[in-house]
């Protein structure tokens, strides 16, 4: 689980947005492979221009912790979903609800460097994760 402070620090260490995009691409490449059987309509995130699949659930611990698996067919989007996975993985349902990634992504400048369709996709992925925590 990456903390918001760690994410801010990582992005501050990177110079321009070309380096930051490379960082996102690297995160996407490191994303564990999603089981091909999970690349289905039930796991597809609506509102994303590219295909994004997101599967998640909570373990039986006390408190339960979120575990996510995800993938995308677009390299930058795969990096974004990997970043979201890093931020949410291992959090409790209440921690998932409290985390404001929109504000965080604005602080690192990510939102202003994404096309409107990628911004919509980002918010759709985030809302899908929040919905998992509400279930």
Number of alpha carbons in the 13 Å side-chain half-sphere of residue 18: 0
Q: Nearest to residue 117, comparing CAs of 50, 61, 69, 54? A: 50
Of residues 61, 70, 72, the one with CA closest to residue 35: 70
Strands (E), the chain: 52-58, 66-72
Structure tokens that stand for 82 in this block = 């990997």
Rounded to the nearest 10°, the torsion over CA 18, 19, 24, 26 is 120
Active-site choice (48, 82, 96, 122): 48
> Smallest Cα–Cα separation from 126: which of 84, 76, 95?
84
- Annotated catalytic, 48? yes
Please list the active-site residues: 48
């Amino acid at each position: 689980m990456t903390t918001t402070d760690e994410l801010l620090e990582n992005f501050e260490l990177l110079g321009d947005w070309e380096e930051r995009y490379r960082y996102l691409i690297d995160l996407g490449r490191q994303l564990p492979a999603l089981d091909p059987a999970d690349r289905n309509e039930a796991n597809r995130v609506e509102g994303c221009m590219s295909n994004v699949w997101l599967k998640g659930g909570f373990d039986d611990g006390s408190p339960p912790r979120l575990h996510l698996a995800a993938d995308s067919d677009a390299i930058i989007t795969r990096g974004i979903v990997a970043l979201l996975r890093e931020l949410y993985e291992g959090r409790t349902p209440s921690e998932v609800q409290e985390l404001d990634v929109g504000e965080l992504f604005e602080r690192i400048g990510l939102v202003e460097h994404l096309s409107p369709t990628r911004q919509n996709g980002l918010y759709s992925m985030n809302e899908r994760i929040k919905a998992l925590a509400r279930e």
